[in-house]
Structure 1
Amino acid sequence: MEDGLDELALYGCYTEAPSNDGILNVVRYGTTPNGYTEAARGWTSYGCQATPGACPGYSVFDQAFVLEQCKVLAESGFAAAGYDLCCLDAGWNTAATDEYGRTIYNNATFAFPELGEYLHSLDLKLGVYFAPGFNCGAMNKTIMGTQTTLYEVWDGVYDGISLCNFDYSKPATQDWHDSQVELFHEYGVDLLKLDYVTPGSPSNGANLPSNTSASAIAYHNAIINTGHQMRLDLSWKLCRNDTYFQIWDKTADSIRTDQDVNNYGESTFVALQEVQRAIDNARQFISLQTFKNQLITVRPDMDDLFVANPQDITGITDQQRITVMTFWLGFGSNMILGSNLTDIDALGMKLLTSAESRAATAFCNEYPISPRNPGTGDNAAMQLSGWIGGPNEVGQAVVVLANLGANIGEAGYNTTLTGVQKVSISLTDLGIDHRPCYVVKDIWNGNSSVVHQGGSLTAYLDEGNSQFLNLTVCN
């Protein structure tokens, strides 16, 4: 289907939140269904797999390539900043299955469980990519611990990506999921990325069943049943209405809020157009939860984070790299790097590992940013925008001023302002004008100032640029 028809098929999944009428509701995250209190951080192979032109030297997706990248995460800067996941995307497994119809690794390119054991010895963790369903070639194999074949739990649907869909009403379906998660544990897996979940995954190029949300339930239950803690990340652009969000919120640790941000077919990783779209989808995600006045227990996954490499490789300017980091960090999103970790520059190290980055990450992992537009405090999409995370119980908050750039395609707003623009937001717009004054510190640049009650914060920002501020109440 064309993109528009895909969106029509998912009508009602991506509705705008109502206006907040300028009222500040402080958004907070809680513990996820599988027991995590922070968003996932680490690296994924997909950046280099999807845009090999941005990853010189990459030719084969194998264990040697993965270890070359992930050993960087074991270095002190990344270790202290919590980047501990080494994630294998599509291609780590083979089309064959074991005697119980379980998916197994490709022993021509990887060695399991040795890979997981080695990563664990470096205090790193292993993530793998997967999809709902089972390999159709395993139809006549018997599910581990049962007398039931996979044919007996098949619902008759082929999904178009070489997998067969489960009948989730059959008890043995859960037995298969339990056994697959048990095998993942034997491999040393700590995160499962479940892709092609519906409703969601628009423009997928496959014939997916319209609703595989039961797969999220089955994998979550398998994690619980086997007693092996494991992150569950659902992908991609999952339906966000209340009907389905309450499923994701009870089963997953994170859900993809957008399509891929990869700059396919180019020699750079990402483009500003994809960044704008990802930020707007995260805005929609957080705005819909703002009105519930309850802890959010599933994190947004804005897709891979591309900030580590120089601007000619990343594909956006250095100032725009700062904006990307500010928003991925600010939303409390997963921060899984898609960059080439063998070519990190000084700015990349600062954004990812500095004390300032770690402190802001810790704050936004509890208090994510939500939109507070200049002049109204409203939550609609705007090019010249304001955002706030918190305040917490002692009045600390983070604030973002941004010129997200002229709408290139799917930014959510219609303005096309070019060049440097004045972005100014009052404490009243932010909903925090009840304190005598705040000390304002620029998180990335380090300079400080004071803003008094009735005052405003102002920045002059070029397209795609932002200012990230930490506010603390004056003594």
Structure 2
Amino acid sequence: MPVRRAPSLRYLALACGLTALASTATAQVNGVAQRPYLGWSSFSQQTLDPAFLTQANMVKQSDALAASGLQAHGYTYINLDSGWMGGFDANGRPIPDPATFPDIKALIDHIHANGQKAGIYWIPGVEEPAVQGNFPILGSDRHIQDILALPHRAGNAFGGPGESPYHYKIDFSKPGAQAYMDSVVALFASWGVDFIKLDGVTPGSYSDDLSIDNRDDVVAWSRAIAKSGRPMWFTVSWQVDKDYNGIWSTWANARRIDDDVECEGRCATLTNWPRIEKRFRDLPSWQDAAGPAKGWNDLDTLDIADGELDGLTLDEKRSAMTIWAMANAPIYLGGDLTRTDPDGLRIATNDEVLAIDQSGRPATQLLGGDQQVWVSDQGNGRAYVALFNMTGAPATVTLPWHLLGTAGTWRTRDLWTHKELGPSIGQHSVVLPAHGTQLLLVERFPGAIPQGPSKAYEAEAATLGGTAQVFACEGCAGGNKVGGLGLGTNNTVSFNNVVAPRDGVYLMQVDSLTLGLRSYLYRVNDGPYHTFNSGGGSFQLPSSSTLPICLRRGVNRIRFGNDVSYPPDLDRIVIRDGLGVPAPAADVYEAESATLGGTVTAGFSNYFSGLAKAGNIGGGAANGVTFTRVTAPRAGAYQLEIDYATKGPRSLFLTINGRNTQQLDLDGSSFDDPVAKVLVVSLQKGSNTIQLGNPSGFAPDLDRIVVSPRVGAPAPGCP
């Protein structure tokens, strides 16, 4: 739904109570998280091998962490994820499965002997066997059933409906409830645990059911850690709601801001690029929430040291490592440490990159869209600057230095190649491969260049169409936003009076609101659609991204919507001059918005551009997708990126302007995640027609096509 429902009186009272509790706590629980931790987690490998989580294998991982050289670069945590537990003790506390973890204390002693720290996984609430056993609570005269919320209901995001949810909610106003948490954490402390991941935490974890509401659980766990006397890193998970970050940041050391990075059986590898890209989309919403006094944004496991099993190219692995480091996120590897690959290890152990992660100064996004720029200001004129090419074809990424408030740099160092690039005046440009990055340390010229004027346009004051309507919004400019956009051609918001003093490139800041992935399709002056793939952590706190757009002199119209799928809610746009910023070089054409023939259908798909794709393609000449009005500024050769999805081999037939049909034999391991195929094709000046289908066999699903100039060709500029 585009708008969160109104909070109940019970919710407001609980929020006030928890805020009062928060004021008595320190920002970093136990003082263990002044910097993000580095380590390893078992979960990624568990998604490929369910029998992987055993004491014997954890000993091997601990030994491999030390032997691989990772530990010498600061990787010290060995974290056991879900699956270690086998039952409950006489006080209803979780204990290991004796078949897989015969002596967990001995395992943790081994981890400690290797100079490492040990982590463990658990969830809020009480599971069914402990409820049925109604065990006495250690340190209390109460029993398990005495502390349960009534009526019985789910105690976390994994719980079921009704009176028998399997995971039962605890009522922390009842005597014995805090004592139970104290006893669980005391047991973990007796084993020597140094880290606790509390999973299935709500609000968040794709559950906005405030009858669950684990904020009081988080406070209780945090208090139990403090009472135990043992410093333990405390992370809450997964994809928690930013509206309640006052609790997450006060009572925990880190919070997961995304769902699982792993494919978990939906592809043939540990992860893939679309799941990495999701972090780029969600992070702008949270970029103001991290730091030594606020806790850290957890982006989940970084699977970069397992060769082809990671599902990422080397360029994609460097980009992933770069955004984790720029975000100051905890970096914990996945996979099997006994089989790490040398290239992945070199990426994971780049000390210049790790220093960014440990700097305590998380980056902010300077430019969004297909060519992104992120900046971490270190003070005293020093900054880390990361440039990214988010498209599947090589592209030139340009940063005018005035966007950093300077005329240039007297030092520019590439941290991946370890090369000094020298001074840079005016702007910096680099050719990046598909999904590639360049990571710079820059030292700026002294003196600041003031930014030009800007003008804000509130969505609620714009022209609303169809189901679009105004809603109250706590964090929005003016206190309102527009929701109900998308899922229809006419459900739009139009800014009809965007004034530009000249023809050219401008920067458009989009302040949007969503929990998870959503996408706008926007049009400038009835030109072609453009896609802004966004994400976020709240429907009440806006996330900002800045995109280059072309405006003409005088009055312009910018319309936001999404014909097929879900866009975010919209707070406002802010326009300012983009002097020095190049016009967007790539033109994106969404398959779901193209002409669909025969059996072809369009619909929602989470990891796809535009949050939708076209499916049921092929099996007949009429069952294809036709992209009309594919525009080229001049005749010649262009890069054509085709983003598709298939599980197993399928073929597409490509026809451009009715001529020279070409068969593309494609492969993939998932219909959930798009893969890029890049060709060089000839286009005529002006409008072109591109058709994709299969006259006889089944074709892959289609996400989009992207047309861009070949590297070195003249930039297209604004039309």
2:97 is equivalent to residue 92 of structure 1: no
1:424 aligned to which of 392, 395, 398: 398
Which residue in 1 is equivalent to 2:325? 329
Matches within 5 A, 1:228-239: 228-239=230-241
Once the two structures are superposed, residues 309-344 of structure 1 have per-residue CA deviations (whole angstroms, 9 ceiling, x without a partner) of 22x211111111100000111100011111221222
Once the two structures are superposed, residues 36-56 of structure 1 have per-residue CA deviations (whole angstroms, 9 ceiling, x without a partner) of 21112111111111133xxxx
Amino acid at match of 1:440: T
Amino acid at match of 1:212: N
CA distance in 1, matches of 2:438, 2:6: 35
CA distance in 2, matches of 1:122, 1:31: 30
Q: CA RMSD in A?
A: 2.5
| Partner-residue secondary structure (3-state), 1:371 | strand
CA distance in 2, matches of 1:191, 1:325: 23
Amino acid at match of 1:443: L
1:102 aligned to which of 77, 93, 100: 93
CA distance in 2, matches of 1:127, 1:309: 22
Once the two structures are superposed, residues 333-371 of structure 1 have per-residue CA deviations (whole angstroms, 9 ceiling, x without a partner) of 0111112212222221211223323333333xx111110
| Partner-residue secondary structure (3-state), 2:30 | coil
Instruction: Tell me if the contact between 2:55 and 2:104 (Cα under 8 Å) persists in the aligned partners.
Output: no
Aligned CA distance change for structure 1 residues 420 and 262 (closer, same or farther; 3 Å):
same
TM-score in terms of structure 2 length: 0.55
Structure 1 residue 422: Cα displacement: 1.4
| Partner-residue secondary structure (3-state), 1:390 | strand
Aligned CA distance change for structure 1 residues 446 and 401 (closer, same or farther; 3 Å):
same
CA distance in 1, matches of 2:428, 2:5: 39
CA distance in 1, matches of 2:153, 2:378: 49
Instruction: Tell me if the contact between 1:51 and 1:262 (Cα under 8 Å) persists in the aligned partners.
Output: no
Instruction: Tell me if the contact between 2:324 and 2:357 (Cα under 8 Å) persists in the aligned partners.
Output: no
Higher helix share: 1
Which residue in 1 is equivalent to 2:473? none
Which residue in 1 is equivalent to 2:434? 463
Instruction: Tell me if the contact between 1:10 and 1:199 (Cα under 8 Å) persists in the aligned partners.
Output: no
Structure 1 residue 248: Cα displacement: 0.5
1:213 aligned to which of 215, 218, 223: 215
Aligned CA distance change for structure 1 residues 115 and 333 (closer, same or farther; 3 Å):
same
Which residue in 2 is equivalent to 1:21? none
2:443 is equivalent to residue 472 of structure 1: yes
Once the two structures are superposed, residues 26-45 of structure 1 have per-residue CA deviations (whole angstroms, 9 ceiling, x without a partner) of xxxx9723312111211111
Structure 1 residue 430: Cα displacement: 2.3
TM-score in terms of structure 1 length: 0.81
Which residue in 1 is equivalent to 2:497? none
2:104 is equivalent to residue 112 of structure 1: yes
1:340 aligned to which of 336, 340, 343: 336
Which residue in 2 is equivalent to 1:377? none
2:304 is equivalent to residue 307 of structure 1: yes
Once the two structures are superposed, residues 391-410 of structure 1 have per-residue CA deviations (whole angstroms, 9 ceiling, x without a partner) of 32x322100011122xxxxx
Larger radius of gyration: 2
CA distance in 2, matches of 1:203, 1:322: 33
CA distance in 2, matches of 1:232, 1:403: 34
Matches within 5 A, 1:27-176: 32-35=28-31, 36-52=33-49, 59-75=51-67, 77-94=69-86, 96-110=87-101, 111-139=103-131, 140-155=134-149, 156-158=152-154, 159-160=159-160, 162-176=166-180
Instruction: Tell me if the contact between 2:365 and 2:374 (Cα under 8 Å) persists in the aligned partners.
Output: yes
Once the two structures are superposed, residues 274-318 of structure 1 have per-residue CA deviations (whole angstroms, 9 ceiling, x without a partner) of 1111221122210x449xxx86521011011011122x2111111
CA distance in 2, matches of 1:75, 1:456: 43
Which residue in 2 is equivalent to 1:274? 275
Amino acid at match of 1:97: F
CA distance in 1, matches of 2:112, 2:242: 35
Instruction: Tell me if the contact between 1:285 and 1:300 (Cα under 8 Å) persists in the aligned partners.
Output: yes
Structure 1 residue 113: Cα displacement: 0.8
Instruction: Tell me if the contact between 1:34 and 1:252 (Cα under 8 Å) persists in the aligned partners.
Output: no
Structure 1 residue 384: Cα displacement: 0.7
Amino acid at match of 1:384: Q
Instruction: Tell me if the contact between 1:34 and 1:220 (Cα under 8 Å) persists in the aligned partners.
Output: no
Which residue in 2 is equivalent to 1:17? none
2:377 is equivalent to residue 390 of structure 1: yes
Instruction: Tell me if the contact between 2:315 and 2:434 (Cα under 8 Å) persists in the aligned partners.
Output: no
Structure 1 residue 226: Cα displacement: 1.8
CA distance in 1, matches of 2:194, 2:242: 26
Structure 2: gaps (5+ residues): 8-25, 447-719
CA distance in 2, matches of 1:474, 1:448: 16
CA distance in 2, matches of 1:358, 1:326: 9
Higher relative contact order (CA 8 A, sep 6+): 1
Structure 1 residue 142: Cα displacement: 1.3
Instruction: Tell me if the contact between 1:34 and 1:251 (Cα under 8 Å) persists in the aligned partners.
Output: no
Structure 1 residue 253: Cα displacement: 0.7
CA distance in 2, matches of 1:31, 1:166: 25
Instruction: Tell me if the contact between 2:142 and 2:175 (Cα under 8 Å) persists in the aligned partners.
Output: no
Aligned CA distance change for structure 1 residues 93 and 333 (closer, same or farther; 3 Å):
same
Which residue in 1 is equivalent to 2:387? 401
Once the two structures are superposed, residues 398-441 of structure 1 have per-residue CA deviations (whole angstroms, 9 ceiling, x without a partner) of 00011122xxxxxxxxxxxx52221111221123x17x733111
Once the two structures are superposed, residues 78-130 of structure 1 have per-residue CA deviations (whole angstroms, 9 ceiling, x without a partner) of 22221111111111011x21111111111111122111111101111111111
CA distance in 1, matches of 2:259, 2:328: 18
Which residue in 2 is equivalent to 1:22? none
Instruction: Tell me if the contact between 1:34 and 1:253 (Cα under 8 Å) persists in the aligned partners.
Output: no
Structure 1 residue 270: Cα displacement: 1.0
Aligned CA distance change for structure 1 residues 442 and 10 (closer, same or farther; 3 Å):
farther
Aligned CA distance change for structure 1 residues 190 and 402 (closer, same or farther; 3 Å):
same
CA distance in 2, matches of 1:325, 1:172: 44
Which residue in 1 is equivalent to 2:254? 254
Which residue in 1 is equivalent to 2:12? none
Instruction: Tell me if the contact between 2:375 and 2:384 (Cα under 8 Å) persists in the aligned partners.
Output: yes
CA distance in 2, matches of 1:461, 1:254: 32
Which residue in 1 is equivalent to 2:657? none
Higher strand share: 2
CA distance in 1, matches of 2:238, 2:197: 10
Aligned CA distance change for structure 1 residues 295 and 145 (closer, same or farther; 3 Å):
closer
Which residue in 2 is equivalent to 1:26? none
Amino acid at match of 1:313: L
CA distance in 2, matches of 1:248, 1:360: 24
CA distance in 1, matches of 2:419, 2:413: 6
Instruction: Tell me if the contact between 1:153 and 1:172 (Cα under 8 Å) persists in the aligned partners.
Output: yes
Structure 1 residue 8: Cα displacement: 6.2
| Partner-residue secondary structure (3-state), 1:277 | helix
CA distance in 1, matches of 2:292, 2:216: 23
Structure 1: gaps (5+ residues): 13-29, 53-57, 374-380, 406-417
Instruction: Tell me if the contact between 1:41 and 1:85 (Cα under 8 Å) persists in the aligned partners.
Output: yes
Aligned CA distance change for structure 1 residues 325 and 60 (closer, same or farther; 3 Å):
closer
Over the matched positions of the two proteins, sequence identity in percent amounts to 27
Structure 1 residue 387: Cα displacement: 0.7
Amino acid at match of 1:315: G
Q: Which moved more, 1:163-172 or 1:58-67?
A: 58-67
Q: Which moved more, 1:382-391 or 1:340-349?
A: 340-349
